[in-house]
Amino acid sequence: MGPGDPAFNMALDETLLHAASRRGQPVLRFYSWTEPAASFGYFQKYAQVERMTALRPLVRRPTGGGLVPHDADWTYSLAFPPNHAWYSLSATESYRRVHEWLQAAFARLGLNTELAPAALKAQAGQCFQGHERFDLLLGGRKIAGAAQRRTRDGLLIQGSVQPPPSVPRNAWQEAMLAVASPTYGVGWENLQPEAWLTEHAQELARRKYSQASYNQRR
């Protein structure tokens, strides 16, 4: 699928979460944006978030975490069904593992990154100001963070990467797929979304993620 508008991007991720149990297989989605935007965590207060960035629109994510600018980043999501081993991991272990995956992908591309050993707080509520434990760092600066939501239907991880200089996006995506196969025993297949899945995401975007009543509810 091509670039999505902010409401549809969040709606499709939520739809993949709700469909995870039904599908029975994990889904890795790489995606981009039709316009500059910012997403913010499910539990954040809109009045505080709107003062943190000039980017508009602002869209509330189905996951937690802080404010993330989507004017130049690479975004991805992972949806795991309840019967997958990843689903049973603690939130901390899941967070560490997804960034180890990114670390291995960048190593394949010749970049030496590291997992943050501890949190370094800067401006509260902004994902890329300072860092949390197990965030991915390059030269001491955070380049990748993620947020999670676990339900009875599955586990959703939404991640953002600040692109390192001179690394093409397609090379990073290919590296992510390549290192996962031997590490996690993954056999990749292209996802062809069923009509009902896309239609549900479009409806969810229309009645929820594009509505001020949802995005400004806190």
- Reported pTM: 0.96
73 by DSSP, 3-state: which?
A: coil
Q: Which residues contact 15 (CB under 8 A, 6 or more apart)?
A: 197, 200, 201, 204
Give me the amino acid identity at 14.
Answer: E
User: Is 105 annotated in the active site?
Assistant: no
Three-point CA angle 36, 134, 189, nearest 5°: 65
Q: Give the separation between CA 12 and CA 17, rounded to whole angstroms.
A: 9
Q: Give the separation between CA 33 and CA 85, rounded to whole angstroms.
A: 31
Please tell me which residue in 127, 137, 144, 197 is annotated as part of the active site: 127
Domain spans of the chain, in order of start: 6-215
> Could you tell me which CATH class the domain 6-215 is placed in?
alpha beta
Show pLDDT as tens, one digit a residue, over the chain (218 residues).
679 999 999 999 999 999 999 999 999 999 999 999 999 999 999 999 999 999 999 999 999 999 999 999 999 999 999 999 999 999 999 999 999 999 999 999 999 999 999 988 776 667 777 889 999 999 999 999 999 999 999 999 999 999 999 899 999 999 999 999 888 888 898 988 889 999 999 999 999 999 999 999 98
Structural tokens at position 38: 């910012």
Query: Which phi and psi (to 5°) does residue 49 adopt?
Result: -65, -40
Strand locations in the chain (E): 27-31, 38-40, 58-60, 68-69, 74-80, 114-115, 120-121, 130-131, 136-138, 141-150, 155-161
